[in-house]
Amino acid sequence: MSATGFTKRLMPADIAAMKGGDPIVCLTAYTTPMAQMMDSHADLVLVGDSVGMVLHGLPSTLGVTMEMMILHGQAVARGLHRALMVVDMPFGSYEESPAQAFRNAARLMAETGAGAVKLEGGVHMAETIGFLVKRGIPVMAHIGLTPQSVNTLGGYKVQGRGADAERLHADARAVAEAGAFSVVLEKVPAKLADAITAELPIPTVGIGASAGCDGQVLVVDDMLGLFTAFKPKFVKRFAQLGEAAEVGIAAYAAEVRARSFPAAEHVFDDEVKK
């Protein structure tokens, strides 16, 4: 807490300044209650377009809209007081031109209160990143496995192996030189992630990359075990809430069918208590 009694909200410059220091803690959030739980623990909270798959049952992130990102961004913002909130730009909202990207990024920030936006792509998005940054839109970049490009990448495969490593180096240099304040490295071999982290002047945030990155990000529903079947290799279950939820739901269903719930303490009588 500051001397005025208010908690200082982290800014993109604060995250950039963490390069080479204490690791950056980042998680996704899509709802107010989840944002409230992570606010005092996370440095950066990402309203990811993964919301389409996690909460809306979409087969990929490609069907996520601006309206969905704004709705969930507004919900997350209500739960944050300290962490920097970054909102993903959905597929089709920024690729056409820098001008299109600015219009949509400005709308996301204005309607959600986000401190920055995140977009996918390396060398080919450098011009757009520079255009946004020069106009007051802080940008978190995202290279490696970029889920919005899953169809051209041929699936959710590791990126940067063998001769492909130089492409990732070039992407990393391009987004840093364009003015991104940090960059997500997704599904990149550990040695390559370490080399990129050492090379760049901006923080790297790994997901399926390396413990040597400047920070880490996971989808909160994955790390809390809210999915009982789906578990990527790079996810560690820090809780098993999905299993606990299934047990609770089954117990509720059994008591309803047995008419043991609601019990006397859960219903109201006719008398007015004095």
Q: Binding site: what residues are annotated? A: 49-50, 88, 118, 120
Helix, strand, or coil (residue 147):
helix
Rg over CA atoms, the chain = 21
Q: Is the dihedral of CA 34, 37, 39, 43 positive or negative?
A: negative
From the annotation, which residues make up the binding site for Mg(2+)?
49, 88, 120
Asked if residues 44 and 25 have their Cβ atoms less than 8 Å apart, the reply is yes
CA angle 178, 151, 160 (to 5 degrees): 55
| Annotated catalytic residue within 186, 199, 255, 271 | 186
Please name the amino acid found at residue 91: F
Contact partners, residue 208, CB within 8 Å, separation at least 6 = 145, 158, 186, 187, 188, 232, 233, 234
From the annotation, which residues make up the binding site for 3-methyl-2-oxobutanoate?
49-50, 88, 118
Cα 49 from Cα 69, distance rounded (Å): 7
Name the residue among 74, 77, 78, 53 with its Cα closest to residue 64. 53
**Known active-site residue 186:** yes
- The catalytic residues are 186
